[in-house]
């Protein structure tokens, strides 16, 4: 008969412990590998990016454009701040500060400001949709229906010859000799960066943002304010398969759906008549054309799709511009300058020093309270710190997260929350030892009781972090963000490291024998014999001393019922002694 393998001879808790530790090692290795890949092949770093208060960045002041004699309301400014914040968040920039100073909107971005983010911030005029009357080159983009056009979306037979009075936004009657001369002489290379926006009911001569295509556009026929959503994604076939071609998907509200249905029906009819570029529809922001695709269908459901030579990045940038393009007022860039850190190196060092002091106090307390068992707490904190650091660094690389002083405060607070989980677990194990269980059984029983408490506690912490992140703005989001991350990591560490380590230590002689320095001595804890459970009895040399200590601890931990029973027993013994004295 074959001898049992060493693996099968291991107790079940030991096998589970090594399995959990293996998974923990895989997670750490995976995080390390992702970070290393970012450093080698991407724009990652071994250190997280710092926020505005620690690194400095760029400050842009936006001044409102209003007619003389009029003023800007606070409601308009607040709405503008909200939309600009959405634009900045969509670009992946974290820890940005956006607020009002007087009638100006001040945007502070940490680190170096890239061109795409700058463009999102500075594009502050109302988004307008205008039909194309003239263009000097053809467009390579098109507007597709998101679904097949319905049969009732019939094409209208439209007047295409110039008339004295324009009948719609595509009528060439808008092109007067003066406007034609202005279009012919307009030079895109000399165009001002902030093209003056024409009134909504008048034509507009302008160029695209790349200064490559010149347009003469009709009056505004739809507003960007009616765009509910704009996202990027790949084009899907009728069977749901992806074609690999990137597109921008737009969703209009009811008013926008009605306006766009009229325009798309007209422009699609012009395409059928070979009237290019009058079959194009331009999306205009800050007086410049974002895109002017051709109309390839009558779109009546309010869900057009823009296709063309898009990449994933360019389609996302256009979707963000369309989604967050409508502001209640127009702005001009008053100034853009580099700013220094508001807190600086000394404040960062002070925050780190405070965290180090807190960590040292936690270590001292755990060693004093739990002795050798406190080493598990220290090791757990180290593992949690490694996972947290790698996670923050990866998020900094992939999601643009930046660590602020508020975020560091969240990490410092997490030290106490993390240690609290270990304390709950250790105390449950000690309670089981006091009830007379052996250490191996106490670890398993204590874990079942502690795990429910830990989950309830961490659930409350995570809920608070999520609510704070959703409702807060600015640097407070950084505090909530790190608090939420460390809460999840805390649960992972307790499950995959702290509990497995206690399962393994329970098998060692030092801890299982109840060494006084282990922190798990049943007699020192005041163990009480209950039922058939057993625990290690003290040696003869220390029996008297430990017995007295255990008796005091056991008496202190008696229940009310036990105290009443002891009092009744003591009264009966006293009565028996008295009677015996009388009989003698």
pLDDT tens sequence across 72-97 = 777 778 777 877 877 777 666 666 77
pLDDT reported for residue 403: 83
Q: Which of helix, strand or coil describes residue 16?
A: helix
Q: What is the pLDDT of residues 189-236, one digit of tens each?
A: 776 544 455 788 889 999 887 888 899 999 999 888 888 888 889 988
Name the more confident of 239 and 123: 239
Pairing mode, strands 142-145 and 128-135: unpaired
Residue 309: phi and psi, rounded to 5, are -85, 65
Q: Which of helix, strand or coil describes residue 393?
A: helix
258-262, 473-477, 491-495: range with lowest mean pLDDT: 473-477
Compute how many other C-beta atoms are within 10 angstroms of the C-beta atom of residue 383: 19
Has residue 527 been placed in a domain?
Answer: no
Has residue 548 been placed in a domain?
Answer: no
* pLDDT value at 258 more than 90: yes
Q: What is the pLDDT of residues 272-289, one digit of tens each?
A: 777 788 889 998 876 788
- Round the average pLDDT of the chain to a whole number and report it: 78
pLDDT reported for residue 413: 85
Do residue 230 and residue 153 come from a single domain?
yes
Mean pLDDT of 558-562: 58
Has residue 94 been placed in a domain?
Answer: yes
| pLDDT tier, 35 (very low <50, low <70, confident <90, very high otherwise) | very high
Has residue 523 been placed in a domain?
Answer: no
Do residue 356 and residue 493 come from a single domain?
yes
Q: How many domains are contained in the chain?
A: 3
Distance CA(114)–CA(252), nearest Å, equals: 30
Among residues 549, 556, 494, the alpha carbon closest in space to that of 516 is found at 549
Do residue 258 and residue 192 come from a single domain?
yes
Has residue 559 been placed in a domain?
Answer: no
Has residue 325 been placed in a domain?
Answer: yes
Domain with 401 in it: 346-512
Could you say which of 512, 530, 558 is where a domain stops? Answer: 512
Could you say which of 512, 544, 568 is where a domain stops? Answer: 512
* pLDDT value at 156 more than 70: no
Distance CA(67)–CA(567), nearest Å, equals: 91
Sign of the CA dihedral with 413 first, then 415, 420, and 421 last: positive
Distance CA(223)–CA(243), nearest Å, equals: 31
pLDDT reported for residue 225: 80
Has residue 577 been placed in a domain?
Answer: no
* pLDDT value at 392 more than 70: yes
Name the more confident of 525 and 239: 239
* pLDDT value at 543 more than 60: no
Do residue 108 and residue 157 come from a single domain?
no
90, two tokens: 């969509």
Has residue 45 been placed in a domain?
Answer: no
Could you say which of 460, 491, 512 is where a domain stops? Answer: 512
- Does the pTM surpass 0.85? The reply is no
């Amino acid at each position: 008969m074959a001898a049992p393998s060493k693996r099968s001879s291991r107790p079940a808790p030991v096998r589970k412990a090594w399995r959990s530790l293996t998974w923990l090692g895989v997670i750490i290795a995976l995080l390390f590998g992702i970070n290393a890949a970012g450093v080698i092949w991407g724009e990652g770093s071994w250190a997280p990016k710092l926020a505005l208060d620690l690194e400095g960045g760029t400050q842009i002041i936006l001044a409102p454009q209003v007619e003389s004699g009029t003023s800007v309301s606070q409601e308009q400014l607040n709405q503008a701040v909200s939309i600009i914040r959405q634009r900045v968040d969509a670009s992946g920039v974290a820890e940005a500060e956006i607020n009002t100073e007087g009638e100006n909107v001040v945007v502070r971005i940490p680190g170096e400001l890239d061109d795409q983010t700058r463009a999102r911030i500075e594009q502050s005029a109302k988004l307008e949709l205008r039909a194309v009357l003239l263009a000097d080159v053809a467009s390579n983009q098109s507007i597709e229906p998101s679904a097949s056009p319905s049969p009732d979306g019939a094409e209208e037979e439209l007047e295409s010859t110039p008339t004295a009075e324009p009948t719609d936004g595509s009528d060439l009657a808008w092109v007067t000799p003066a406007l034609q001369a202005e279009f012919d002489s307009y030079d895109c290379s000399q165009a001002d960066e902030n093209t003056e926006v024409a009134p909504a009911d008048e034509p507009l001569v302008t160029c695209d943002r790349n200064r490559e295509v010149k347009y003469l556009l009709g009056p505004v026929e739809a507003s960007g304010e009616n765009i509910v959503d704009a996202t990027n994604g790949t084009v899907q076939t009728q069977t749901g398969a992806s074609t690999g071609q990137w597109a921008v998907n737009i969703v209009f509200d009811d008013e926008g759906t009605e306006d766009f249905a009229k325009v798309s029906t007209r422009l699609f009819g012009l395409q059928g008549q070979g009237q290019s570029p009058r079959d194009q529809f331009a999306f205009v922001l800050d007086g410049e054309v974002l895109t002017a695709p051709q109309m390839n269908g009558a779109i009546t459901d309010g869900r057009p799709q823009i296709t063309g030579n898009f990449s994933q990045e360019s389609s996302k940038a256009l979707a963000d511009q369309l989604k967050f393009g409508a502001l209640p007022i127009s702005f001009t860039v008053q100034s853009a300058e580099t700013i220094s850190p508001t807190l600086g190196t000394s404040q960062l060092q002070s925050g780190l020093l405070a965290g180090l002091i807190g960590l040292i106090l936690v270590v001292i307390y755990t060693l004093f309270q739990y002795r050798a068992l406190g080493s598990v707490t220290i090791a757990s904190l180290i593992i949690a710190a490694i996972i947290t650091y790698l996670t923050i660094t990866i998020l900094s690389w992939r999601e643009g997260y930046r660590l602020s002083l508020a975020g560091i405060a969240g990490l410092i607070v997490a030290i106490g929350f993390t240690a609290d989980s270990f304390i709950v677990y250790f105390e449950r194990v000690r309670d089981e030892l006091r009830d007379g269980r052996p250490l191996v059984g106490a670890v398993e029983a204590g874990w079942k009781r502690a795990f429910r408490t830990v989950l309830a506690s961490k659930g409350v912490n995570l809920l608070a972090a999520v609510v704070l992140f959703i409702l807060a703005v600015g640097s407070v989001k950084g505090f909530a963000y790190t608090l939420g991350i460390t809460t999840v990591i805390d649960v992972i560490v307790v499950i995959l490291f702290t509990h497995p380590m206690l399962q393994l230590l329970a098998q060692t002689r030092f801890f299982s024998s109840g060494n006084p320095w282990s922190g798990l001595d049943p007699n020192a804890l005041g163990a009480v014999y209950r039922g058939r459970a057993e625990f290690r009895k003290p040696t003869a040399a220390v029996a008297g001393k430990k017995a007295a200590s255990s008796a005091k601890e056991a008496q202190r931990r008696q229940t009310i019922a036990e105290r009443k029973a002891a009092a009744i027993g003591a009264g009966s013994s006293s009565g028996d002694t008295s009677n015996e004295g009388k009989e003698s």
